[in-house]
């Protein structure tokens, strides 16, 4: 028996109504539960990094002169605050022992993050590599790399230079104390003069540098950060490395970092000057290459005694320098950062 078309349509409509209403209710709930997306969030997620990269490669480069690190990072228009903790723009830093080697490499990292860096070294003129780095950096990162002839053993001159730098910029934000010497000599052969020379640079020079910078941080109300370059040799009896005076001078630096961190935890009107020690493993630097000349077997021995089976390069410590000098380490003080390829973990 066939129903008239009108009655059939009405019957179907009545039978479908509950299901349709159910679907509508479900859709309404889904809309109510959908999170609100702001305009800023939409901009963040509306374009993939790949698409952004392709688009930017087709457009002509209109890079601003001396941009801050925030402008150098990917997609600055979409997320201007990305990695803001690492921004050193307009901040001022001292790096002792910065004329070459590890000190220069760490200084370079700070400049790339926007910092104004002053390398102090007892060399009358920095090594050629300093000028190469200076030329490579130029003004494009917003920072600057400068050099001053300063011997950390000369307390008066050290104080004067650091004070003048702080006065020029009306601030002092950080210190990396990397000035040091090394002397591979059996303990029985160390002369009193050699002992005093090493301690005067490796310990007293580090202490003087830290105190001079801390005074300026307090004067200009800067929550500063100080990184004292020690060594894993200050933590262990470095197998085969016959330099008891060097090793003990670096142990003193580790303890100095802890002591100053305690003393200066609220030094700037209740705010901190943070102090940490960096304990590198074996690094290929001019100083270490001289050790290999004196003890040719030392290189193979050192390479075999860490978990990575090789020596480190200065550039592998750039990240820790930036971490310690930036706000990214704002709750880190009084610690030893051991970066040694696993040497001390056996």
Q: pLDDT digit string (tens) for 55-110?
A: 444 455 454 455 555 555 555 555 566 788 999 999 999 999 999 999 999 999 99
Catalytic annotation present for 271: no
Residue 79 in any domain: the answer is: no
Residue 211 in any domain: the answer is: yes
Residue 45 in any domain: the answer is: no
Look at the chain and report how many structural domains it folds into. Answer: 1
| Sequence-separated (6 or more) residues with CB below 8 Å from residue 49 | 74, 75
Percent of the chain scoring above 90 in pLDDT: 67
Residue 38 in any domain: the answer is: no
Residue 83 in any domain: the answer is: no
**Active-site pick, 118, 250, 317, 343:** 250
**pLDDT value at 309 more than 90:** yes
Catalytic annotation present for 317: no
The pLDDT, as a whole number, for residue 324 is 99
Least confident of 71-75, 91-95, 220-224, 308-312: 71-75
Dig out the tokens for 299 from the structure: 């290189």
Least confident of 26-40, 66-80, 274-288: 26-40
Residue 10 in any domain: the answer is: no
**Active-site pick, 246, 266, 271, 317:** 246
Domain that holds residue 125: 88-345
pLDDT tens figures, 104-137: 999 999 999 999 999 999 999 999 999 999 999 9
Residue 258 in any domain: the answer is: yes
Asked if residue 282 lies in contact with residue 343, where contact means CB atoms within 8 angstroms, the answer is: yes
Asked if residue 324 lies in contact with residue 225, where contact means CB atoms within 8 angstroms, the answer is: yes
pLDDT tens figures, 175-209: 999 999 999 899 999 999 999 999 999 999 999 99
- CATH number, domain of 236, equals 3.40.50.720
Residue 263 in any domain: the answer is: yes
Reduced to 3 DSSP states, what percent helix, strand and coil does the chain have, rounded to the nearest 5? 50, 10, 35
């Amino acid at each position: 028996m066939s129903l008239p078309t009108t009655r059939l349509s009405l019957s179907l409509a009545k039978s479908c109504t509950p299901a349709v209403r159910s679907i509508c209710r479900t859709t309404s709930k889904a809309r109510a539960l959908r999170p609100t997306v702001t305009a800023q969030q939409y901009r963040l997620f509306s374009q993939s990094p790949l698409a952004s990269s392709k688009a930017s490669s087709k457009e002509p480069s209109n890079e601003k002169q001396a941009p801050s690190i925030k402008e150098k990072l990917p997609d600055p228009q979409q997320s201007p605050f990305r990695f803001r903790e690492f921004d050193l723009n307009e901040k001022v830093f001292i790096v002792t022992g910065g004329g070459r080697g590890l000190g220069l490499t760490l200084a370079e990292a700070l400049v790339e993050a926007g910092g104004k860096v002053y390398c102090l070294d007892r060399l009358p003129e920095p090594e050629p590599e300093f000028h190469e780095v200076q030329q490579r950096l130029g003004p494009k990162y917003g920072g600057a790399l400068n050099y001053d002839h300063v011997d950390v053993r000369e307390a008066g001159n050290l104080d004067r230079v650091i004070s003048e730098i702080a006065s020029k910029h009306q601030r002092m934000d950080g210190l990396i104390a990397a000035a040091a010497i090394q002397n591979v000599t059996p303990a029985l052969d160390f002369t009193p003069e050699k002992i005093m020379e090493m301690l005067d640079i490796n310990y007293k020079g580090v202490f003087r540098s830290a105190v001079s910078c801390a005074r300026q941080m307090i004067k200009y109300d800067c929550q500063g950060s100080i990184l004292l370059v020690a060594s894993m040799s200050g933590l262990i009896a470095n197998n085969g490395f016959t330099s008891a005076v060097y090793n003990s001078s670096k142990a003193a630096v580790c303890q100095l970092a802890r002591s100053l961190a305690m003393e200066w935890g609220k030094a700037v009107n209740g705010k901190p000057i943070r102090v940490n020690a960096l304990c590198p493993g074996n690094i290929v630097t001019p100083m270490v290459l001289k050790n290999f000349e004196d003890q040719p077997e030392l290189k193979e021995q050192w390479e075999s005694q860490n978990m990575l089976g090789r020596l480190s390069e200065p550039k592998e410590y750039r990240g820790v320098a930036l971490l310690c000098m930036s706000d990214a380490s704002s709750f880190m003080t009084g610690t030893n950062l051991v970066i040694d390829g696993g040497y001390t973990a056996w």
